[in-house]
Amino acid sequence: MIQDYLPICRADMDRRGWEQCDFVYVTGDAYVDHPSFGTAIISRLLESRGYRVGIISQPDWKDPESVQLLGKPRLGFLVSSGNMDSMVNHYSVSKKRRQQDSYTPGGVMGKRPDYAAVVYSNLIRSVYKDSPIILGGIEASLRRLAHYDYWSNRLKRSILLDAQADLISYGMGEHSIVEIADALNSGIDVKDITFIDGTVFKTRNLDVVYDYQMLPDYDKMKRDKTEYAKSFYVQYQNTDPFTGKRLAEPYFGKEFVVQNPPSKPLTTEEMDEIYALPYMRSYHPSYEEAGGVPAIREIKFSLISNRGCFGACSFCALTFHQGRIIQVRSHESLVEEATLLTQEPDFKGYIHDVGGPTANFRFPACEKQLTKGACPHKQCLFPEPCKNMNADHSDYIALLRKLRSIPRVKKVFIRSGIRFDYLLADKNRNFLRELCQYHVSGQLKVAPEHVADPVLTRMGKPRNAVYNQFVKEYKEMNARIGKEQYLVPYLMSSHPGSTLKEAVELAEYLRDLGYMPEQVQDFYPTPSTISTCMYYTGLDPRTMEPVYVPVNPHEKAMQRALIQYRNPKNYELVKEALIKAGRTDLIGFDKKCLIRPRQGMNGGSGSGCGNYSHCKEKARSSKPGANGRFQGAGKKNQTDRKLVKKKTIRNVHKKK
């Protein structure tokens, strides 16, 4: 086997002595041969099974010749939009075009089309009429059945139909892609490959399908959002590889898209094998002149220790993509990779992360999941941790200690996020101590997401009291070990269930904390999440209860502005939000107020603090100007601007 990048042109094929590829992988990302990229994993895995794989990266979707660079493959085309959904890659939640694409050489935007998997597949089909096309990656996985598309604001049919493809390999794909390759190699027609777990196929005759559950017809779901909510929850309950049923989705009664049950989780041995494949661990050298591929910076010195997540946040698609059963690598595998990192010429002594979707998950939530699967009607952590859950962190602690002891390793960070409710469920605080002592550098990022319990319930997140308990214990632990370290909370605005009342509650929490986040994430309705289903239907698919959904852009702007109420640019939005929420008591000079009245406002108008005169007099007496008038309410909130500069995270948490 040649230790080199896989072929990207005919000259590369000639050097290997190839006349034809078995598979050509067409991707919307630049070619980065690193195990953090799906293209690299799938292509290297197929290579290890004896298949010849070539890569066509970011083809010109307006030119059919761009998908003919490597000729027609013997077995078929593999198509992916890349590591991200192409629409998320291109657009912010406000649907504004992003300025940079981290998965493109030089960060240049515009090197892939919108809905890239569909466009690439149709381009291939226009040239190679009979060549099998297998879709994979996050974009295809989360659009495998009818789904709400936020960017077009409509219910779209399965991507399999729009792309004119033959199969979808959904989820992480290692098991299914090898089975697909072996089936094609044995001479089975792609239309007859209907039996592989982790795949989706289309058929006009359900006689070839057995033991399936019928979903509502696509046309019926388009006409009735309630039907889509019901269908989505059936899908959600069938994401487990042990208990999931085969699902059939009809299209006008003439065609069916059939989803086979998910592939079984990878064993530790299989995970170790995948991450030990002969990756070059960087982007293709042809990108050097353009400045390289920005995405490599964050992952080059990071270790993926696990997959899957039983946290099951409503706004996260991991349940549909990686599943709820945790899959892990062995200590030996991770230590070996970490040792390789220390030999890189630009290694500075820092391992940036050891984790996965959730860093401190190192086991399935309970032992039964490995044989019977995750409970279809219950969650492991929500609304309370399951009594059968194993929250022992001792294995993760042992792993981190081994990594810290490797020569040339100065520090091992944990940046992929921890579940603080899972940490608190552990019977001791050994992991919290080790985390604070060795794996935090001044600040630890955590994701409470919100503070209002009604919103947290819709999010599938623990009650605010749980986060407050973690904050308390984190502070106490740092004091005990003599360190001054702080928490940086990730917060989300405009999630389904959040009215202006809950948005104001979040602003008050930040006021009491003394912290204004520099960045706030508006809820982003991406395909195949419970939250997106709520956004589209106005129903919680778990209960079919109506849910308030902030869809008006102006209201969403108000909710976002409340989180950053100290920013002078947000003044008018915050003022409007407080008036609409009936909270004009928060407009004034008292320390509990969020904003101050501007000159010309008065308490009787309903647009200022109800105790305006008292607040103003109090302010005058505490800080008079040269003429006895309060200085700072006007002139574009000069005082607020000073506060923004002064209130660093350090001062914030000292105050708390």
pLDDT tens digits, 227-282: 999 999 999 999 999 999 999 999 998 899 999 999 999 999 999 999 999 999 99
Q: What is the pLDDT of residues 128-149, one digit of tens each?
A: 999 999 999 999 999 999 999 9
Residue 632 has what pLDDT? 33
Hey, where are the domains in the chain? 10-201
User: Which runs of consecutive H residues, i.e. helices, occur in 186-254?
Assistant: 218-223, 225-236
CATH T-level fold of 10-201: Rossmann fold (3.40.50)
Nearest of 303, 249, 252, 255 to residue 275 by alpha carbon: 303
Residue 377 has what pLDDT? 86
- First vs last Cα of the chain: how many Å apart? 59
H or E stretch covering 445: strand 443-449
Residue 376 has what pLDDT? 87
Q: Are 295 and 102 in contact (CB under 8 A)?
A: yes
Segment 114-118 shows an average pLDDT of 98
| Dist. CA 584–CA 578, nearest whole Å | 6
Q: Are 480 and 536 in contact (CB under 8 A)?
A: no
Q: What is the pLDDT of residues 34-47, one digit of tens each?
A: 999 999 999 999 99
Average pLDDT over all residues of the chain: 91
> Which of 292-306, 364-378, 512-526, 588-602 is the least confident region?
588-602
Q: Collect all residues with Cβ–Cβ distance below 8 Å to 428 and sequence separation of at least 6.
A: none
**pTM for the whole structure:** 0.90
% the chain with pLDDT above 70: 91
Residue 628 has what pLDDT? 30
Banded pLDDT at 610 (limits 50, 70, 90): very low
Residue 2 has what pLDDT? 67
Q: What is the pLDDT of residues 454-506, one digit of tens each?
A: 999 999 999 999 999 999 999 999 999 999 999 999 999 999 999 999 999 99
Cβ of 377: how many Cβ atoms within 10 Å?
6
Provide the 8-state DSSP code for 287. Answer: G
Banded pLDDT at 388 (limits 50, 70, 90): very high
Q: Are 264 and 327 in contact (CB under 8 A)?
A: no
Segment 550-558 shows an average pLDDT of 96
| Dist. CA 288–CA 31, nearest whole Å | 12
User: Which runs of consecutive H residues, i.e. helices, occur in 548-630?
Assistant: 553-563, 571-580, 612-622
Q: What is the pLDDT of residues 147-181, one digit of tens each?
A: 999 999 999 999 999 999 999 999 999 999 999 99
Segment 542-570 shows an average pLDDT of 96
Residue 648 has what pLDDT? 40
Q: Collect all residues with Cβ–Cβ distance below 8 Å to 289 and sequence separation of at least 6.
A: none
Residue 514 has what pLDDT? 86
Which three-class secondary structure state does DSSP give residue 551?
A: coil
C-alpha of 390 from chain center: 25
| Dist. CA 74–CA 401, nearest whole Å | 48
Banded pLDDT at 447 (limits 50, 70, 90): very high
Residue 642 has what pLDDT? 40
Segment 585-595 shows an average pLDDT of 95
Residue 132 has what pLDDT? 98
Examine the pLDDT at 8 and tell me if it is beyond 70: yes
Looking only at the bridges linking them, the beta strands covering 327-328 and 306-307 are antiparallel
| CA angle (377, 380, 386) in 5-degree steps | 105
| Dist. CA 528–CA 191, nearest whole Å | 26
